[in-house]
Amino acid sequence: MLIAAGIAWACAGGDEEDPSVFAPEYFVDPDYSPFFFETSHRFYNSERLYENNAADNNKRFNEETTSDWSGFLNNSIKTPDLETLLFKLSAAGVDSVNQNRLGKTGSLPGIYPDLSGSKYKKKKVDQFFEYLKLAKQAEAYAVNEEDYWYEPVPKKNVDPSLEIKIKAAFQNTKEPFLKQRYWFQLVRYHFFNSLTTEKNNPAIDAAFNSYKNSQRNALYYRSLSYLAGYYYHQKKYASANYLYSLCYDYSFKMKIPSAWSFHPQEEQDWKQTLALAKSKEEEITLWHLLGMEHDPVRAIKEITIRNPKSEKLDVLLSRVVNITEYDQMDSLYASEFMNKATADKDLTSIDSITRTGTTSKPWFWNLASGYLHFLKKDYKNAGIFYDRAERTIPSKDTLINAQYKLLKTLLHVAQLKKLDKTTEDALVEPLNWLADIRDQKKQFKDFRYTDALYPVARSIANLYKSQKDPVKAVCFQDETSFYMSNSNINALQAIFLNKNKTEFQKVMLRYYPHKLEDLYYHQATMLTYKEKVDEAIVLMEKAGEKGNQFELAGNPFNSRLNDCHDCDHEAPQKLKYTPLSFLKAIKAAKDELNAGKNTFRNSFLLANAYYNITYYGNARLFYQTDITGYSDYSGEAITKEFQRTFTDPKIAMKYYLLAKQYAQTDEQRARSTFMASKCERNEYYNQVESKSYNDDFSYFPGGKYFAELKQKFLNTRYYQEILKECGYFRSYVKS
């Protein structure tokens, strides 16, 4: 079937889920679930469904085939053994099992079924092995072990002598069960033979007609699908598509391959296909298939004329809705699936059907019409249709009621013009309900709620911004700029600490992404960069685990010639610092320095500490939080609001120069001067970055402290270490 139709649908998108808040699972029969809209696969939820690769198609009917044979054999062969014989063993393997069964060979390999001691009706098992011998030969052309979705399927040679064997077996067999299977093999043989020769092969029609009045079971429709495939290959599209529609209607497992193969080419052959339909129901199936592939709204109108209660309408309407919301939320590729699903004429047609109230699920149609209007920002009509839906929704259906409530919440928030106590009180219940679902306190199977959380929160945040209330706004939409103001943070902390919170304040904090301890940690770090270490320690002590237990990866008081924070992280460390113990160590060094003790050592340690908590040092983790952002080393950018704070070398520079002032030897002065040059170079990087120069940072023009090193410390050991390690300095000296 797939070969005949051709592989005409390549990858349509990525692996991420499509944005959606409307769940077709709540309204559409599960038999049609493969045809729910999805951009990344031809069929919805294809991880659990057989889709279009060779392995899946080989297995599609295995369970059914096993069950049929098990019934014919009166369950005399165990199901695992039967599956091994049918689907796993080669023709030679099957023959070995049969010879062993007949007592003509000895023991078998471990995976081979041993039927020697089984109790069964010998005649039926003999017939089974006789059939299986031919069926295994047919696998040479009928089973495709590779997935050739990316290139044409290679042709396989068909052994002409096999036709004679299959035909003879078909003609000689009286048992209906076996006769139909040989008939299936004969039809399939002629289909693959026609692919090989690429010629008209009327023998397939004759083969099919020779037993077309057999039982209308799965095997009959599988045979019919091969006839359809032959017609398609011969470009008899009208006949092919009509037969595929008959197969589609037979069973769930037939739906995917039949829909995949159904491809009207032009309006003319489509009309010819319709003319072949023998009943309204067959016409409905044809329109249904056309709607899933091409124009769902046209198909909906045609099906409604024939039967407005047809279940085949449901999946088409769900596709219109899901395609439209995809177009609104992620419109890059929407036109590939349907051109403006909610064009005014299309929406008018759907509304007209909805208003008649003659469909089998009026609540579905009213919710769909309402949501389509919502997506067009026509909130008045959205509300009208939602109200109509509410009157007909089955009261005990929790899933549909949850869908209704989600859509109503989106509409309610979208219509808000101002937020005051009255509107806040009205929002408490729906916002708590959404948060409960997010937090898994309430669960609805297949509920598409995640894409509602952001627009609801964003709309509320935008209203608060317009009302100049940044504290409430940030609870619903986090923004780094908020944390540049300490008064903002204090106001938010006051809400956290208020023991008599209003109900709205409680729900507001459920949407805020950070904890009170995160705010303390942030304030403590920002005070650190202002050298207000005493105040920073007080707040860091309130920061919980982040301040007291989280450890910095490297020793922040160490320095090195070349910046290599990974090297520092991997180096043995006798003492690990938490942010709090780090701040206390800074305070101790400052206290000693102010007291005139160990002045060079303490100045140099403080310089290293302030250097390492910049972007260029080994303690980036000190400032990397969900509030401030992360370094681009981690794949994310530091937020611009804080970038200057975390790259500014001035404090480190101050202490390196102070260390040079307190130095006792030229070695100490050389070390301090070089570290000052690193601060100077880092500031050069900052300027290059901020001005967006096209510079790869491979050049540094030197500066005051490179010159000082060359002029004053040429004879120190440290100068030689600098020459060895620092390419910038070597280039400077040579030039």
User: Could you tell me which of 646, 708, 700, 641 has the C-alpha nearest to residue 673?
Assistant: 708
pLDDT attached to residue 16: 57
**How far apart (Å, rounded) are the C-alpha atoms in residues 633 and 503?**
42
Q: Could you tell me which residues come within 8 angstroms of residue 558 by beta carbon, excluding any fewer than 6 positions away?
A: 568, 571, 608, 612, 618
- Write the DSSP string, 245-256: HHHHHH-HHHHH
The confidence score (pLDDT) of residue 486 equals: 95
CA distances from 585 to 570, 581, 606, 616, 684 (A): 22, 6, 9, 21, 30
Q: 155 pLDDT band (50/70/90 cuts)? A: low
Contacts of 90-97 spanning 24+ positions with Cβ under 8 A: 90/136, 91/133, 91/136, 91/137, 94/129, 94/132, 94/133, 94/136, 95/133
At 46 the pLDDT is 54
Tell whether the model's pLDDT for residue 215 goes beyond 50: yes
Per-residue pLDDT band at 329 (split at 50, 70, 90) = confident
Q: What is the C-alpha separation between 238 and 232, in angstroms, rounded?
A: 8
Average pLDDT of span 192-203:
83
Local structure of 638: helix, strand or coil = strand
Q: How many CB atoms neighbour CB 450 within 10 A? A: 13
- Over 60: is that where the pLDDT of 310 sits? yes
CB of 709 within 8 A of CB of 672?
no
pLDDT digits (tens, 9 = 90+) for 21-53: 999 999 999 999 999 998 877 788 755 444 445
Give CA separation, 375 vs 108, 291, 324, 380, 614, in Å.
66, 22, 8, 12, 46
- The pair of structure tokens assigned to 475 is 């609870």
pLDDT in the model for residue 607: 98
pLDDT given at position 150: 52
Confidence of residue 276 (pLDDT cuts 50, 70, 90): very high
Tell me the CA distances in angstroms from 606 to 315, 593, 669, one per residue in order. 68, 10, 16
All residues at 6 or more sequence positions from 235 whose CB lies less than 8 Å from its CB, including other chains: none
Phi, psi at residue 625, to the nearest 5°? -140, 170
Closest by CA to 141, choosing from 198, 203, 88, 188, is: 188
Using CA atoms, how far apart are residues 33 and 26, in angstroms rounded to an integer? 11
Flag the least confident range among 196-200, 413-417, 476-480, 638-642. 638-642
Say if pTM beats, i.e. exceeds, 0.75. yes
Query: For the chain, what is the radius of gyration of the CA atoms?
Result: 37
Based on the number of CB atoms within 10 Å of its own CB, is 139 exposed (0-12), middle (13-18) or buried (19 or more)? middle
Model pLDDT, residue 639: 66
Mean pLDDT, range 310-326, rounded to an integer: 96
pLDDT reported for residue 483:
94
Tell me if 65 sits within 8 A of 181, measured CB to CB. Answer: no
Alpha-carbon gap, residue 485 to 609, rounded angstroms: 25
**How large is the average pLDDT for residues 102-126?**
84
pLDDT for residue 383 is more than 50 = yes
Nearest to 82 by CA among 425, 636, 401, 73: 73
pLDDT band at 154 (very low <50, low <70, confident <90, very high): low
Residue 631 pLDDT more than 70?
no
Contact 459, 413 (CB under 8 A): yes
- In this predicted model, what pLDDT tens digit does every residue of 262-274 receive, in sequence order? 999 999 999 999 9
Across 194-214, average pLDDT: 88
Query: What sign for the dihedral angle of Cα 272, 277, 278, 279?
Result: negative
pLDDT for residue 364 = 98
Q: Please, which residues bridge with residue 638 across strands? A: 629
Least confident of 154-158, 384-388, 604-608, 685-689: 154-158
Angle between helices 704-712 and 727-734 (to 10 degrees): 70
Q: Say how far apart CA 451 and CA 455 lie, in whole Å.
A: 7
Mean of pLDDT values over 211-219: 94
**pLDDT for 689:** 65
CA distances from 441 to 299, 395, 438, 503 (A): 41, 22, 8, 18
Read off the pLDDT of each residue in 612-618 and give the average, rounded to a whole number. Answer: 95
What integer pLDDT is reported at residue 336 of this predicted model? Answer: 39
| More confident call, 202 vs 56 | 202
* Polymer length in residues for the chain: 735
Q: What is the mean pLDDT of the chain?
A: 89
The rounded distance, in Å, linking the Cα atoms of 644 and 629 is 13
The whole-angstrom separation of Cα 142 and Cα 135 is 10
Q: What average pLDDT score do residues 594-612 get?
A: 98
Each residue's pLDDT tens digit, 678-694: 999 999 888 876 555 45
Phi, psi of 217 (to 5 degrees): -110, -170
Is the alpha carbon torsion for 353, 356, 357, 360 positive or negative?
negative
Query: Dihedral (C-alpha) 258, 23, 323, 46: value to the nearest 10 degrees?
Result: -40
Contact yes or no for 637/624 (Cβ under 8 A): no
Per-residue pLDDT at 340 exceeds 70: no
CA–CA separation, 697 and 677 (whole Å)? 15
How much is the pLDDT for 331? 43
